[in-house]
Structure formats: structure tokens, C-alpha cells
Structure 1
Amino acid sequence: MDLFDRLPDTLVLDILNRVGDVKTLIRCRSVSKRLNSLVPQSESLLLRLDHESDTEFDSPVVGFFRSLFKSLHDLLPLFPRPVHPTRPPKNPAQILSGFDRIQNLEVEFPGGDINLEKGAAVKWKAEFGKTLRSCVIVAFRSVTVSKECSGEREGTAESDVEFVSGLKTRVVWTVSALMAASARHLRMKEVAKEHKEMERVVLRDREGEGTVVMDTEGLREYASEAAERDGEDGGERVGEVERGRTVVPSVRMSMRHAPSLRLKSGICLEGATLVVVRPSGATGDDDLAAEAFAGDMGGDCMYGEAVAALLKRRRNVLEMNSF
């Protein structure tokens, strides 16, 4: 008797959920009839997207025949090779169409979306329903390990020119983070519609730059709103596709910054910035900022310490129209 057949389905499903990786699970379906029937029941999935295919996973059998036909073409140079149009990459909804019980989904993008000058860093976390609920952004222009920061001397204050220049940079960081977050959010539209059983979705990049989170309530809200729009004229949907992202609503930005910020660990952050973005009228910025980089963001001590220090700084509030 095959000992694998003696394992109960619940145990096999637990193993598959711990594997999680969609590419591996899709290949597992070709191993046996039993795995082919159990893999679609996996509840916890990790989908890694890449630049090349975005991504399309072939079974080993399909891969074998593809390589075989390629070899035959190489051996028959007398016959012209047919020109095939480039196949459009599969989107996340197509890749996940073979799974029936997704509850927790993590999608990993190949890299960050914000173009930064050398030495600068931006880290953000956004929460969405049908649209943006909140976004917390921590950024700095450069980082060093030093006993004293360059602008830390007593009595030193920012000049008007430095403030305006720094403000422009901080606004660019904020807008770039919001556009990156809303672009990732749009990618999950069809997934939310087709997998109404999902309870949590986390979208992050391999470099750890930004994270989008959607909880059960947000996913239901997003799926319902998407279904309603399907029956309408579609003008707004066309606009979303052209932009490649969902619309960011009118927001209020609570911004704090320090020209130089020395942390207890001895790390010095130049141009340190904390921005909390909420739809106009929302409150509770400080609590949101304090919680944003614990747990889901990996508990990075440097960013957590920077947030705690920046929360003691004076706050500037800006309003931004929908875009």
C-alpha cells in the first residue's frame, strides 16, 4: 500500500496550506488524482508575480511538449517558423481560477514602485476597501550610523528654502506611494469578485517597500462595488484601466518631519518623514501610525523607532483632491 494514501485528507490539506506557493501547488496537481482534487481546496496561498509572465505556470507535461516542439523546429530549418503573436500574460484572477476555497491570500510583486534617489528609502502600508481607507508612509533621504546628526546642533532651524524643498520631496513621496498602492489594489478587482470566500489579502513586494492590506469587510465591499459597476455604463472602469489604478479619494495628509533624526540605536536619518493619509473627515492618525509597522510590516525596529520619534514632532496638515 502507498503510505501517502493512508494520510487523511485534512492532514494533506494542512501540508498544502503550509506550502502555499501557487506555482508549486499547480504543479502538484499533475502528480496524482488525489492531489489534483485536493489542491483546489487549499485555503492559504502565496502568489509570486514576476516581470516576464506576470505569471503563467505550465504543468510539467505542457512544458515537456513545448520543449519537444521547439526541438523539432530547430531540426527543420528548411521550413519557415510561424510568427505567433505574443500571448498576453495571465492576470492573478486567471491564475487563481483553479482554487475554490481561498481564505488567506498573499501576493508578492517583483519589486518596489517608487523611483528614489540613491540612499533614500520609503516604506508604506495601505488599507483598502472599495477605495483607500488609510496609508502610513515613513521615508528618509539618507541613513548613517553616527553619534551626531548633521543638523542636530542646538539652535539650528530649517530655512524657508530648505522647508519648501523638503516639502516638495515629501509630497512626491506621498503621491508616489498612493499611486503604487492604488495600482496594486486594482489588480485584485477580479480576484475579489470571483473569490468571495476570502477573508484577508496582503499585497507586498519582495523588497519590502510597500504593503496593501484588505480585510474581510473590505473585500466584501470591493467585490460588491465591482459587481455593481459591471452593470453600469463602464466609463469609470475605462478610466481605471487607462490609469492602471483605482481612484484615490480626497484625502487629508497628516505630515511630520525632522531635518535630522537620531535614533536611540545610533542611526541617523536625514530628511525623516512620517505621513498618515486618510479620507477627508477621518480621525485617529496617531494610533494608526503607531500600529502600522508592527506585525504585518515585519516589526522593523528602525522604522518603528522612527515613527515613535516623529510622532513627537509638530504636525502639518494638508488636503489633497481626488486623483
Structure 2
Amino acid sequence: MDVFDGVPDAIIVDILNKVGDVRTLLRCSSLSKRFNSLVPQTESLILRPDQVGTTESQPDSPLSNILKSVHGLCSLFTKPAKPIPTTSLSPNIPSKILSPFDRIKNLGVELPGGDASLENGAAVKWKAEYGETLQTCVVFAFRSASTVSPSPGSSDGESDAEFVAGLKTRVVWTISALIAASTRHFLMSEVVKEHEEMESLVIRDMGGEGTLVMNSEGLREFRKIEAARDGEVEDERVEKNRSVVPSVRMSMRHAPSLKLESSICLESATLVIVRPSERYSDVGDDELATEAFAGNCMYGEAVVALLKCRKNAIEMNSF
């Protein structure tokens, strides 16, 4: 008798939860009948849809369909030569990959790369929280970083003319972050609807550009409103391949040159806190911004410094 057969199912499921990686777990499910029955019980998963397999839509034999399905699943986990844009992924893809699992509570998704097209040296980092729609989004960006001190006479302040000159770029950074977040929200919409026991969803870019979070309350809100929509004509989300961004109000802070204690100087450092215009309140903005980048020393320090700068309010219509 194999000693492993004496290990209780509950312990094996706990081990599978620690493994998490969907690709590894799907391979484990073909190991034996026992694993095939236990793998679907995994509650904590990490999904990495690195590549999308494409097949032509045409009638095939049942055997051909099965072979294509297997090939499609394999191609989804093949590391591509270049990151595939998130906008090319359909909500049906993660839904099909996760269909063998029926007890998902905590789901982490790691996407191959960010969507923003930035000039060389620039960086945009964001963290968004979603329910049925956008709840909050914090965006931190800068044009370049160096260890060279600002030139003599430069300061953390700026004139109105200097602010207006760089406003277009800062707005573009913010819109890029909002579109990226809404694309990820739309991508996981089918998974959220199908797995009603899910309590936490976190979507990250492997390059560290952005993070989208849906907590238990946000997930319940999404399912409730989506259930009320059943049977209605699909809205513009499908055409845009992303969720609609509501009308928002933004508080923007900016420093032409921001020198950190680590002697790193960030050019055109920008912090934007976005909330929906409906029932807008800026209460808790400071805590929201510092929490968004608490795990990164450089960004966390920069955010704390930017919170001391002058706040500029901007409104944006839904898009």
C-alpha cells in the first residue's frame, strides 16, 4: 500500500491550496482518480493566462473538438515570445480555464504585461478597487528617475504655466490607468458571475504596473447588479472590450522634481486619486494613497511627499 494513500483528503486539499498555480493543478488532476476528484476542491488559485490559442470557428467532429480544446488549454499556459495585450483576451478564456474548479474563494490573476504606451523612462503605477463599477483608483506616475540632484534653483513648487504645460501628459497617464483597470474588470466578469463563493479577486500585471482588487462586498455588488441585467441587451462594454468608466472626480498633485531621501530624483512626479462623481467624498484620500503603495519603499515615500503638494481638482465624464 502506498503510504500517501493514508493522507486524509483535507490535508491534500490544503497542500493544493498552497500550490495555487492553475497550470500545475490541472496537470495534477490527471495524475490519478483521487487527484482528479480533489483538485476541483482547491479554494485558493493563481491564474497566469500567458498566451491565447486561436482556432477558426467552423464545424468539426466531436473528436476534433476535444483535441482542439486540449491544445487550446496547453497554449494558454505557453510562455509567449512577447506579452500578449490584455485587450486581446476574452472573458470566456479565464472562465473556461477555471471551469474545473467549483470552490474558488481566493483568486489571484497575473497578466503578462501592462497596456500603457509610455515614453522611454516613464512609469505609471496604479491600484483600483472595483465592485459593479469603479470605486477608487490611485495613480502614481513620473516621467523619469535618476540619482542626479535637481539643478540649482529648482524646487518642488511650480507656476501655473508649468502646471498647464504638463497637464495633458498627466491626464493621459490617468486615462491609461483607468482604461487598463476597466479592461481587467471586464476580463474577469464571467468568472465572478460563475463562481459565487469567491470572496477575493486580485489582478496584477507581472511587470508591476497595476493592481485591481475586488473584495467580498464588491463581488457581491457585481453579482447582484449583473443578475438584474440578465436578459437585457448587452451594453457598450462588449464593443469596447472593457467596463465603462463612470464620471469621476480626480484630485491631482504634482511636483516638477521630487527628490527622495534615497537621493533618487523623480521628474514630473504625479499622484492622482480618482473617485466616482456620484456620492463623491475625499474623506480618507491620504490613507487610500499611502495604502496603495505601502509595499514599495520608493513609491511609498514619493506618495507621502506628494500628499503635501497643492491639490488640483479635475472632473471627467464617463467613457
TM score, norm. by length of structure 1: 0.84
When structure 1 is superposed on structure 2, of 278-287 and 262-271 the one drifting more is 278-287
**Which residue does 1:282 correspond to in 2?**
281
In the TM superposition, what whole-angstrom CA distance separates every residue of 1:157-187 from its partner, at most 9, and x where no partner exists? 6455532231110000000100000000011
Q: Is 1:312 aligned to residue 308 of structure 2?
A: yes
**Which residue does 2:259 correspond to in 1?**
262
Find the aligned partners of 2:131 and 2:146 in 1 and give their Cα distance: 38
Find the aligned partners of 2:250 and 2:241 in 1 and give their Cα distance: 23
**Which residue does 2:204 correspond to in 1?**
204
The answer to whether the 8 A contact 1:46-1:108 is kept is yes
- What SS does the corresponding residue of 1:91 show, helix, strand or coil? helix
The answer to whether the 8 A contact 2:91-2:190 is kept is no
Percent identity, aligned pairs only, is: 64
Higher alpha-carbon Rg: 1
The answer to whether the 8 A contact 1:104-1:199 is kept is yes
Report the AA paired with residue 40 of structure 2: P
Q: 1:304 to 1:89 in 2, by over 3 A?
A: closer
- What SS does the corresponding residue of 1:98 show, helix, strand or coil? coil
Report the AA paired with residue 250 of structure 1: S
Q: 1:155 to 1:165 in 2, by over 3 A?
A: closer
Find the aligned partners of 2:267 and 2:177 in 1 and give their Cα distance: 19
- What SS does the corresponding residue of 1:248 show, helix, strand or coil? coil
Report the AA paired with residue 246 of structure 1: S
How many Å apart are 1:90 and its aligned residue? 5.5
- What SS does the corresponding residue of 2:98 show, helix, strand or coil? helix
Find the aligned partners of 2:30 and 2:155 in 1 and give their Cα distance: 70
Find the aligned partners of 1:99 and 1:216 in 2 and give their Cα distance: 19
**Which residue does 1:79 correspond to in 2?**
none
Find the aligned partners of 2:121 and 2:94 in 1 and give their Cα distance: 33
Find the aligned partners of 1:313 and 1:2 in 2 and give their Cα distance: 66
**Which residue does 1:250 correspond to in 2?**
247
The answer to whether the 8 A contact 1:104-1:198 is kept is yes
Runs of at least 5 residues in structure 2 that lack an aligned partner in the other structure: 55-65, 72-89
Find the aligned partners of 2:224 and 2:196 in 1 and give their Cα distance: 10
Find the aligned partners of 1:89 and 1:320 in 2 and give their Cα distance: 27
Find the aligned partners of 1:10 and 1:157 in 2 and give their Cα distance: 59
Runs of at least 5 residues in structure 1 that lack an aligned partner in the other structure: 55-60, 67-87
Alignment of 1:66-215 (within 5 A): 91-146=93-148, 148-150=149-151, 153=153, 158=158, 160-215=160-215
**Which residue does 1:302 correspond to in 2?**
298
Report the AA paired with residue 274 of structure 2: V
In the TM superposition, what whole-angstrom CA distance separates every residue of 1:215-241 from its partner, at most 9, and x where no partner exists? 001011111212221222x142xx111
In the TM superposition, what whole-angstrom CA distance separates every residue of 1:198-221 from its partner, at most 9, and x where no partner exists? 010000111010000000010111
How many Å apart are 1:53 and its aligned residue? 3.4
In the TM superposition, what whole-angstrom CA distance separates every residue of 1:290-319 from its partner, at most 9, and x where no partner exists? 21112xxxx110000000000000000001
Aligned residue pair count: 286
The answer to whether the 8 A contact 2:16-2:25 is kept is yes
TM score, norm. by length of structure 2: 0.85
**Which residue does 1:40 correspond to in 2?**
40
